[in-house]
Amino acid sequence: MYIEKINGPADVKRLSAGELETLSEEVRSVLLKKLSEHGGHVGPNLGMVEATIALHYVFNSPIDKIVYDVSHQSYTHKILTGRKAAFMNAAEYDEVSGYTEPSESEHDFFVIGHTSTSVSLATGLAKARDLKGDTGNVIAVIGDGSLSGGEAFEGLNNAAELGTNFIVIVNDNQMSIAENHGGLYRNLQLLRDTDGQAPCNFFTAMGLDYLYVKDGNDVQALISAFQKVKDIDHPVVVHINTLKGKGYRLAEQQQERFHYSIPFSLETGNPSVDFGNEEDYGDLTARYLLQEMKRDRTIVGITAGTPTVFGFTAERREEAGRQFVDVGIAEEHAVAMASAIAAGGGKPVFGVYSTFIQRAYDQLSQDLCINNNPALILVFWGGASSMNDVTHLCLFDIPVIGNIPNMVYLAPTCREEYLAMLEWGIHQTKHPVAVRVPANGVISRGIEPEKDYGKLLNRYEVSRRGEKVAVLGLGSFYQLGEEVVRKLKEDTGIDATLVNPRFITGVDEELLEDLKCDHTLVVTLEDGVLDGGFGEKIARYYASSDMKVLNYGIKKEFADRYDISELLRDNRLTASQIADDIKRVR
Amino acid sequence: MYIEKINGPADVKRLSAGELETLSEEVRSVLLKKLSEHGGHVGPNLGMVEATIALHYVFNSPIDKIVYDVSHQSYTHKILTGRKAAFMNAAEYDEVSGYTEPSESEHDFFVIGHTSTSVSLATGLAKARDLKGDTGNVIAVIGDGSLSGGEAFEGLNNAAELGTNFIVIVNDNQMSIAENHGGLYRNLQLLRDTDGQAPCNFFTAMGLDYLYVKDGNDVQALISAFQKVKDIDHPVVVHINTLKGKGYRLAEQQQERFHYSIPFSLETGNPSVDFGNEEDYGDLTARYLLQEMKRDRTIVGITAGTPTVFGFTAERREEAGRQFVDVGIAEEHAVAMASAIAAGGGKPVFGVYSTFIQRAYDQLSQDLCINNNPALILVFWGGASSMNDVTHLCLFDIPVIGNIPNMVYLAPTCREEYLAMLEWGIHQTKHPVAVRVPANGVISRGIEPEKDYGKLLNRYEVSRRGEKVAVLGLGSFYQLGEEVVRKLKEDTGIDATLVNPRFITGVDEELLEDLKCDHTLVVTLEDGVLDGGFGEKIARYYASSDMKVLNYGIKKEFADRYDISELLRDNRLTASQIADDIKRVR
């Protein structure tokens, strides 16, 4: 085996051509074993094995700096830069993150997790190099899927003006998470079909030099190409054609399924854990939308490269036909387009992960809310229990969305309420609406929910009227609110009031005034960062009165790969801690 | 005169070729008269006269829908669509806004003011049309300057997939506000030089059909081209070459100066109002930076298409040489690049308007703050007194920037403090820092400011220690805080405490605890929206204690073309109103 002797790029350089090919196979085996046992990004990493080996063979990291877009495809890079143990030894699997991480290695320059940033970041490294009069290559590795993001375009546009050494490896595997979308991809196809010779070339049109590698999984061809551009004195794109999932037949054939996987059986490709037929909001949403789409041909679902966030599998996308649009990884465009569809009389529904809607703040504000167009945005996975990678935190959507004028941001507490808000959101014509889909499982409260949230604007639901203490349990923390009320009753005999605020973006002044009569403390619970969040508005409302307020949520910090129970406890987000605090304050 | 008979597009269609040319001249005269007397965007509108006339001659607005990018170039459009009185009659000059405005006319589809949104918005109108089975052309008009923005690219990328009628008029006048920046512009040059024939064509690479108009100020040539694409059944780009400022010699020669102007003399081109040599923070900043740049070659100024925001005129940009980078209208790229320059050992300073930094939330969070890179962002014009157009409000930067972990957002209260924070921000190496440049004029407090804001992290400045009431006057509202303290003393004899918080992103817990000893009320003043702002954090801090808090700032709404005194009064932001409220609460 060669992989066992790789402690850094220098060891890669010692290998011969044949040995490098064997190394590729070994890396693939190691990856497949870890991925099947541990889960992670499968297709992207299998496709990048040879290119990563070739990069470290030709370039001298970390003097030469490589930046990986999204960086979910950096597993081989980690193996070759001193971290193989985390891939070969099950006990150490979690010693590395799923993305580049400077604290692990000098070969990693940034923590990255969102798309389309590599070229911009790399231009910064190049500029710093030039300002300091240093030498060294700067290389950005970006997948074709990431090219649809506006920031990548901005980076490429500026790269050409840099005028100095700058290398962009475009890893073209003809896939995003799902299929690619956009006119640009036709040009990539043309370039592949003409072996990079077509005169009409997006990259050269952007002012960049260009080189094509037909077989991006052939180590020698890659080494040859990389050697051509090494130490080049101007910006150049090396366009490599790779196969996503290469080396594992099932990943090659089911590219969308194996973009990312939880632990699975190598033999069958099936997940090792069976979640059964437990309902999830994504699935529920897609089924509901498809049914509505048939009745109303102006309803259109929109995604920015993540169709399954709201249950739109390949089959369902096919079924929806022209009533489903994937704009590529382009959240800004998705929001503006949704606003205009609504303006034009259509009924747009944009489904998006909490962590990604923050990419479109200006469009939410300008394109959508200033124009008060009645588009509907479904924000999924908002809260602390969804994704715990620092670059995929779902804790900031409330401050991002909730402080924009005109926006109506709803927080359902259960299945019934979610469906009612979804229905109202789609058909109403007066407000830009967003719904924070609960991320704590599909729970039924058995209630008959309201239907017209426009009529009820900013009126909270009092689910039980008590006295002394009022608990406002927002969205997925409503159930925590129920627990708090129970614990308080147990511990102190107090019959607290329980409120479901429903409206993240509104303060129910009438209710809040009314509570002053027989309450001395209001407690807010939100599954998100406190700063800029819901609770602060309640605190501000009562600030000059005698009413005391306790705000619970997540403190403002970038936690990474946290244990959810620990995080909740650190933030005093358990019923007993909250009950204790209430006792202390009263 | 023909213009007097134009009440709508139908009247334009009645004119002959020669009459249309005369109309162009008349429109130009009318524009120049209003612009010189009233101020507004000069160059962009003069350059678009013929194209707008040709659009309304050929197309049938509002069945055919035209969307203008930024929409600052829509004055001729307004004249031709029933609003000529607002351009010909001085008493009615303010009857129209400076941007498209649906409430003025059915020919305007969106309120627009930020860049690069037209194509995305137009795709939405096209999609709605297709879903409803309607007919009609959808046209986006976008300047070459706006093409550098990522959202425009995302829109173009998706437009090609629409597959139905969609027309993009690229108004290429070879200018942004200042000169264009980016590799893309070389391709536009190539296309102009080859009369649109060059095989390497950015637009066709994006999957779009393409047509070139050599003289974009020739009405007949434009009409001919527009007629070619009218009712086309697929997406097409019509690339027109225009002259920015055409018809006014001074605007043609000084394109940057006449992008926008306050009232000016037609004869000399000089502003009608002389602001004298009053210092402004932009100028102050550029002079300081240029001086520092000479001493430290790793300092680099960055702009995203608005160099003069921090005083970098053409001469100064020249002087800074490679230590000044204009990335084009691409704020996301600017922030990521700044983060990476800092990571690479450089000292980046990104100067940007408050209204535009909100375009880069995800990059501030992911690229900059998660990575904790020590870049410096100077946010200009934050506050209610700067720009009062709804699309250029500078009221949201605090909620956008201030709730991101790791960010240190500083609010200087005077010249001395600004310079000290600027200096610290540039050279420190531990934090991502932003500074909210005061927007209430350059005021000196005559203090010896602190130097090391890292050591002082989150410690507020107590400028006078009093009792009973503490006023926290943030940034440009510090002076208002001084007035409040004076008024309070006058009215009630109370010697209030006055605090300069300095740190928007931090709560000085030690001070806030200490105030509890001898104060019962804390008052916060911030020149920005309250929701998600600074005051709410203070309210949250004290919420479960006996301390009362009053938060002052701007309420969450989209005000447009407001009178600043009225806005302040409506928000109780005058010393006497605040003093009254304090008396009432105590």
- B149 contacts A154? CB cut-off 8 A: yes
Which of chain A's residues have a Cβ under 8 Å away from the Cβ of B71?
A: none
Determine whether the interchain pair B128/A345 forms a contact, defined as Cβ–Cβ distance below 8 Å.
yes
Q: Of B184, B367, B543, which has the smallest distance from its Cβ to A121's Cβ? A: B367
The per-residue pLDDT for B409 is 98
Q: What's the gap in Å between the CA of A537 and the closest CA on chain B?
A: 7
- Backbone torsions φ then ψ of B414, nearest 5 degrees: -165, 175
pLDDT of residue A586: 84
Q: A540 and B536: CB-CB below 8 Å?
A: yes
Q: For the segment B1-34, what is each residue's pLDDT rounded down to a tens digit?
A: 899 999 999 999 999 999 999 999 999 999 999 9
Q: What share of chain B in percent tops pLDDT 70?
A: 100
Q: How confident is the model at residue A274 (pLDDT cuts 50, 70, 90)?
A: confident
Q: Do B183 and A157 touch (CB under 8 A)?
A: yes
Average confidence (pLDDT) over A200-222: 97
pLDDT beyond 90 at B273: no
- pLDDT grade, residue A278 (50/70/90)? confident
Instruction: Return the pLDDT at B2.
Output: 95
pLDDT at A298: 97
Answer whether residue B586 shows pLDDT above 90.
no
Tell if the CB–CB gap between B127 and A544 is shorter than 8 Å.
no
Name every chain B residue with its beta carbon within 8 A of the beta carbon of A210: none
Question: Nearest-CA distance from B191 to chain A in Å?
Answer: 10
Contact B131 A297 (CB under 8 A): yes
Per the CB < 8 Å rule, is A121 touching B328? no
> How far apart are the CA of A107 and the nearest CA of chain B, in angstroms?
13
Closest chain B residue to A150, measured at CA: B150
- Whole-angstrom distance, CA of residue A356 vs CA of residue A379: 9
Residue with tokens 């916060």, as numbered in its chain:
B524
Residue from B395, B504, B540 whose CB has the most chain A CBs within 10 Å, to mutate: B540
Chain A interface disruption, residue of B70, B100, B131, B209, most A CBs within 10 A: B131
pLDDT in the model for residue B278: 83
Residues of chain B contacting residue A202, judged by C-beta atoms under 8 Å apart: 202, 205-206
How does DSSP assign A463-509, residue by residue? EE--SEEEEEE-GGGHHHHHHHHHHHHHHH----EEEE--BTT---H
Q: Which of A131, A406, A545 sits opposite B300 (nearest CB)?
A: A131
User: Of A184, A300, A535, which is closest to B540 when you measure between CB atoms?
Assistant: A535
Contact flag A400-B184 (C-beta cutoff 8 Å) = no
Q: Residue B276 pLDDT > 90, yes or no?
A: no
CA distance B265 to chain A (A): 34
Contacts with A396 from chain B: Cβ below 8 Å: 365, 403-404
Q: Do B344 and A390 touch (CB under 8 A)?
A: no
Sign of the alpha-carbon torsion through B404, B405, B408, B411: positive
Contact between residue B440 and residue B530 where contact means Cβ atoms under 8 Å apart: no
Cα separation, A456 vs A433, in Å, equals 14
Distance from CA of A544 to the nearest CA of B (A): 5
CB contact under 8 A, A158 and B542: no
Q: How many C-beta neighbours within 10 Å does residue A133 have?
A: 8
Name the residue with tokens 């009609």.
B136
User: Percent of chain A beyond pLDDT 90?
Assistant: 97
Strand order in the sheet with B209-213: B65-68, B138-143, B166-172, B235-241, B209-213
Out of A124, A158, A325, the one facing B330 most closely (by C-beta) is A158
pLDDT in tens, B354-413: 999 999 999 999 999 999 999 999 999 999 999 999 999 999 999 999 999 999 999 999
Alpha-carbon gap, residue A152 to B153, rounded angstroms: 10
Which residue among A151, A183, A556 places its CB closest to the CB of B150? Answer: A151
Contact A384, A355 (CB under 8 A): no
Give the pLDDT of residue A135. 96
Chain B interface mutation, best of A101, A107, A129, A131, highest count of B Cβ atoms under 10 Å: A131
Determine, for residues B127 and A300 on separate chains, whether the beta-carbon distance falls below 8 Å.
yes
- Number of C-alpha atoms within 13 angstroms, CB side, residue B31? 34
ipTM for the assembly: 0.96
| Nearest CA-CA distance, residue B352 and chain A, Å | 15
> What mean pLDDT is predicted for residues A497-507?
98
A367–B328 C-beta distance less than 8 A = no
Cβ of B396 within 8 Å of Cβ of A403? The answer is yes
Closest CA to A54 of A169, A176, A133, A181: A169
* Distance (Å, whole) CA A324 – CA A289: 10
Beta bridge partners of A521: A469, A548
Residue of A nearest to B102 (CA): A371
A365: chain B residues, CB-CB within 8 Å: 358, 396
> Alpha-carbon distance B477 to B355, whole Å?
19
What is the structure's pLDDT at A275? 74
Distance between A523 CA and the closest CA of chain B, angstroms: 10
pLDDT of residue A273: 87
How far off is chain A from B186, nearest CA to CA, in Å?
6
The residue with greater pLDDT, A175 or A408, is A408
Of B111, B330, B532, which has the smallest distance from its Cβ to A399's Cβ?
B532
| Helix residue spans in B133-257 (DSSP H) | 150-162, 184-193, 202-205, 219-229, 249-253
- Residue A268 CA to residue B71 CA, distance in Å, equals 56
Mean residue pLDDT across chain B: 97
Q: Sort strands A468-473 and A461-464 into parallel, antiparallel or unpaired.
A: unpaired
Q: Out of A154, A205, A206, whose CB is closest to B333?
A: A154
CA A131 to chain B, closest CA, distance in angstroms equals 5
Distance (Å) from the alpha carbon of B278 to chain A's nearest alpha carbon: 33
pLDDT in tens, B182-197: 999 999 999 999 999 9
Cβ distance of B332 and A298 shorter than 8 Å? no
Question: What single letter denotes the amino acid at residue B363?
Answer: Q
Put simply, the answer to whether A366 touches B113 (Cβ < 8 Å) is yes
A350 — pLDDT class (breaks 50, 70, 90): very high
Cβ-Cβ contacts under 8 Å, A117 against chain B:
336, 363, 366-367
Q: Residue B537 has which token pair?
A: 């954090």
- A158 vs B102: CB contact, 8 Å cut-off? no
Instruction: Please check the confidence at residue A301 and state whether its pLDDT lies above 80.
Output: yes
Q: Which two tokens stand for residue A169?
A: 């490896």
Distance CA A3, CA A229 (A): 27
Mean model confidence pLDDT for chain A: 97
Is A359 in Cβ contact with B359 (below 8 Å)? no
pLDDT higher than 90, residue A277: no
In the structure, what pLDDT confidence band is assigned to residue B494 with cuts at 50, 70 and 90? very high
Among candidates A109, A132, A322 on the partner chain, residue whose Cβ is nearest the Cβ of B298: A132
Q: Could you tell me the pLDDT band of residue A237, with boundaries at 50, 70 and 90? A: very high
Beta bridge partners of A171: A143, A240
pLDDT exceeds cutoff 80 at B228? yes
Whether B365 sits inside 8 A of A358 (CB atoms) is yes
| H or E element that contains A240 | strand A235-241
Q: Span B31-59, mean pLDDT?
A: 97
Distance from CA of B577 to the nearest CA of A (A): 15
Listed residue (A90, A283, A74, A303) closest to A176, CA to CA? A303
Cβ contact (<8 Å) for B117 and A157? no
Mean pLDDT of B568-572: 98
Residue B104 has pLDDT above 80, yes or no: yes
- Calculate the alpha carbon distances from A156 to A141, B307, B379 in Å: 12, 21, 25
Residues of chain A with Cβ-Cβ distance to B156 below 8 Å are 183
SS (H, E, C) A376-407: EEEEECCCCCCCCCHHHCCCCHHHHHHCCCCC
Cα distance between residue B187 and residue B206, in whole Å: 13
User: Which residue of chain B is at minimal alpha-carbon distance from A65?
Assistant: B344
The model's confidence at residue B274, banded by pLDDT at 50, 70 and 90, is confident
How far A569 CA sits from the closest chain B CA (Å)?
Answer: 20
Residue B167 confidence (pLDDT) above 80: yes
Per residue in A469-495, pLDDT tens? 999 999 999 999 999 999 999 999 999
Output the pLDDT for position A364.
Answer: 98
Can you tell me the distance from the alpha carbon of A525 to that of A398, in angstroms, rounded to the nearest whole number?
A: 13
pLDDT at residue B577, rounded to an integer? 98
Check B130 against A181: CB less than 8 A apart.
no
pLDDT band for position A259 (cuts 50, 70, 90): very high
- Taking CA B114 as the corner, what is the angle to CA B110 and CA B117, rounded to the nearest 5 degrees? 60
Residues of A with Cβ-Cβ distance to B117 under 8 angstroms: 336, 363, 366-367
Closest to B232 in 3D by CA, of B217, B211, B213, B215: B211
What pLDDT digit, counting tens, does each position of A19-63 carry? 999 999 999 999 999 999 999 999 999 999 999 999 999 999 999
Q: What is the mean pLDDT of residues A296-300?
A: 97
- CB distance B128 to A298 below 8 Å: yes
Residue B547 and residue B521 in contact, taking contact as beta carbons nearer than 8 Å: yes
Q: Are B310 and B282 in contact (CB under 8 A)?
A: yes
